[in-house]
Amino acid sequence: MLIRRPSDFPSSEITGETLYQNRRAWLGAAGVTLAGLALPARARAWGAAVQGDDKLTPYNVVTTYNNYYEFGTGKDEPGQNAGGLKTKPWMVTVEGDVKRKGSIYLDDLLKGIPVVDRTYRMRCVEAWSMVIPWNGIMLGDLIRKLEPGTKAKYVEFTTLLDPKQMPGQESGVLDWPYVEALRIDEAMHPLALLTTGVYGKPLPNQNGAPIRLTVPWKYGFKGGKSIVRIRFLETQPRTTWNIAAPQEYGFFGNVNPTVSHPRWSQKTERRLGELFKRPTLMFNGYADQVARLYTGLDLKANF
Amino acid sequence: MTDGQVVRRILKPLLWIGCLAPAAWLVRGIVEGDLGADPIKTLTHTTGLSALTILLVTLGVTPVRRLLSRPSLVLLRRPLGLFAWFYAVVHFLIYAVFDHQLSVPEISEDVAKHPWVLVGFSALLLLTALAVTSPAAAIRRLGARRWNRLHRLVYVAAILVILHFLWLVKRDLTEPIRYGSILAVLLLARAVPALVRSRAAGRATAGAN
């Protein structure tokens, strides 16, 4: 069941034809609304122009606008505070129902697994988004290499706990260390990555160096950073934001415009660099690839 | 210089400079394209924080005026209040235009569905009522007593603004709590003397406001 041939998704496919057409339709509708309310034509044209395609978010934005509370809760704080994090050598511990247990250097862990380039939309639960060219490995490739047992139903990722290097961990804003997890079939999905780089460069510390989880159809908080432990579990583990506010952040964290966050709508998002919000797409636009993972699951209850 | 002259010639110009500074900073940022990765968020947060900060300063006028026995400081209260309202209006307009493309149904839905939006919107309505009744003519028409009672709503508005702030924050409550503590101190600064006065009023007839 776990073994599925990895199919590759070229960047061109990430922004599918459907998205393009939906956006046209939406822009038309928005234009009508705006015209009705007599917003100056120039502003409308401006809005349409910046509403453009899934253009790459510039490197300096990707690396200066980060949610990484281990280095502070401000968006600019990780960029300012993460410089001192020592990411080499880096040990990762593999635990649970898996054949290749134990602590291993990251370089050895990844040895022999092909590196892929993937451009993904990244949608934060706070209703902003980016488009980021990642480099990394398919998580499924690593999992196959580690050979999980039949009782491994979930994969859990734990971030480094080291308040000396991560000043944000001195505060009690979240339960440290940061823990995230996926169901094993989600983890095996060819879109799920462990990323080690961005824009063809090694991952900057503020983006989760040396290795982080990137799951493009889920809200950004699912992407645990600076991972030191991978655990294969039979039961669903508790995850950090779910512990912090269970009514606001579910285990799945799938991008879903039809399920509002209790305090704000998830229907739209602001793509960084654009002025107006754009509609949020089901599974962040990856429904064609991932919807089958959730057949029969009530996505409202399992948000 | 008399106290009145100090207020008019020195403090008022300073007030204008101070209150226009955030707007000037934002305009400079827009012109130079230097408002960070999410400029709309910077605009929303800066105008919101400016409104709250100036509102708190407005609420500080009366306690300070009493503490220093400088009645003419009251002249600062209206312009401060109006600046707070100005930033609140800009804050709302940015939200209405850039988050909701001025779509009335969308904004109504957002206000109705999300408590922190509702709370902020209510605060804006209250501040608008106070701004509209701020000219001297409105005071005359309403009568001092009714006007005073109406303008006590400023405390309700301030509490709603703090609630709005607390509610919108994802996890780190440090900043709203900081502003909320200042408001708490200001409320106490009004409530305690008022209590003392009402006790005294039992013995004598109340005179000054």
Per-state percent for chain A, helix, strand, coil, to nearest 5:
30, 20, 45
DSSP lists the bridge partners of residue A79 as none
Question: How is residue A241 written in tokens?
Answer: 């934001």
Exposed, middle or buried: residue B69 (CB in 10 Å: 0-12, 13-18, 19+)? exposed
Distance CA B18, CA A156 (A): 51
> CB–CB of B114 and A263 under 8 A?
yes
**Biggest alpha carbon distance in chain B?**
63
What ipTM was reported for this prediction? 0.82
pLDDT tens sequence across B57-93: 999 999 999 999 999 999 999 999 999 999 999 999 9
Specify the pLDDT at position A44.
Answer: 40
pLDDT tens sequence across A87-99: 999 999 999 999 9
Q: State which H helix or E strand residue A64 sits in.
A: none
> CB–CB of A39 and B103 under 8 A?
no
Specify the pLDDT at position B76.
Answer: 95
**Could you say which of B101, B114, B171 has the minimum Cβ distance to residue A244?**
B171
Mean pLDDT of A149-174: 96
Decide if B108 touches A, using CB distance below 8 A: no
Distance CA A189, CA A211 (A): 18
DSSP lists the bridge partners of residue A218 as A254
Residues from A in contact with B at Cβ < 8 Å: 30, 33-34, 37, 39, 47, 61, 64-65, 69, 73, 75-76, 126, 128, 171, 173-174, 244-245, 260, 263-265, 268, 270, 272-273, 275-277
Neighbours of A262 (CB within 10 A): 12
> CB–CB of A34 and B37 under 8 A?
no
Q: Measured between alpha carbons, how far is residue A84 from residues A268, B75, B209 in Å?
A: 36, 52, 59
> CB–CB of A173 and B172 under 8 A?
yes
Residue B98 C-alpha, separation from nearest chain A C-alpha, in angstroms: 5
Mean pLDDT of A64-72: 96
Higher pLDDT, A278 or A10: A278
CB A239 within 8 A of CB A180: yes
CB B110 within 8 A of CB A265: yes
pLDDT band at B205 (very low <50, low <70, confident <90, very high): low
**What is the model's pTM?**
0.83
Distance CA A119, CA B101 (A): 29
> CB–CB of B172 and A277 under 8 A?
no
Specify the pLDDT at position B204.
Answer: 67
DSSP A195: E
DSSP lists the bridge partners of residue A122 as A130
pLDDT tens sequence across B123-158: 999 999 999 999 999 999 999 999 999 999 999 999
The residue with tokens 């134990």 is A102
Decide if B4 touches A, using CB distance below 8 A: no
Exposed, middle or buried: residue A78 (CB in 10 Å: 0-12, 13-18, 19+)? buried
- The answer on pLDDT for A47 being more than 50 is no
CB A136 within 8 A of CB A202: no
CA neighbor of A153 nearest in space, from A99, A231, A232, A223: A232
| Cβ-based contacts of B102 with chain A (< 8 Å) | 33-34, 37, 39
HSE of B195, CA atoms in CB hemisphere, 13 A: 6
Specify the pLDDT at position A28.
Answer: 40
pLDDT band at B1 (very low <50, low <70, confident <90, very high): confident
> CB–CB of A34 and B101 under 8 A?
yes
**Contacts within 8 Å (CB) and 24+ apart, B115-119:** B115/A263, B115/B167, B116/A263, B116/B163, B116/B164, B116/B167, B116/B168, B117/B164, B119/B160, B119/B163, B119/B164, B119/B167
Decide if B177 touches A, using CB distance below 8 A: no
| Cβ-based contacts of A45 with chain B (< 8 Å) | none
For residue B41, the SS3 value is helix
- The answer on pLDDT for A40 being more than 60 is no
H-type helices in chain B, by residue range? 3-5, 12-32, 39-68, 77-94, 104-113, 115-132, 136-142, 144-151, 153-168, 174-201
**Could you say which of B98, B114, B116 has the minimum Cβ distance to residue A276?**
B98
- The answer on pLDDT for B118 being more than 50 is yes
DSSP B98: I
Say if strands A128-138 and A268-271 run parallel, antiparallel, or are unpaired: parallel
Peptide bond into A177 cis (omega under 30): yes
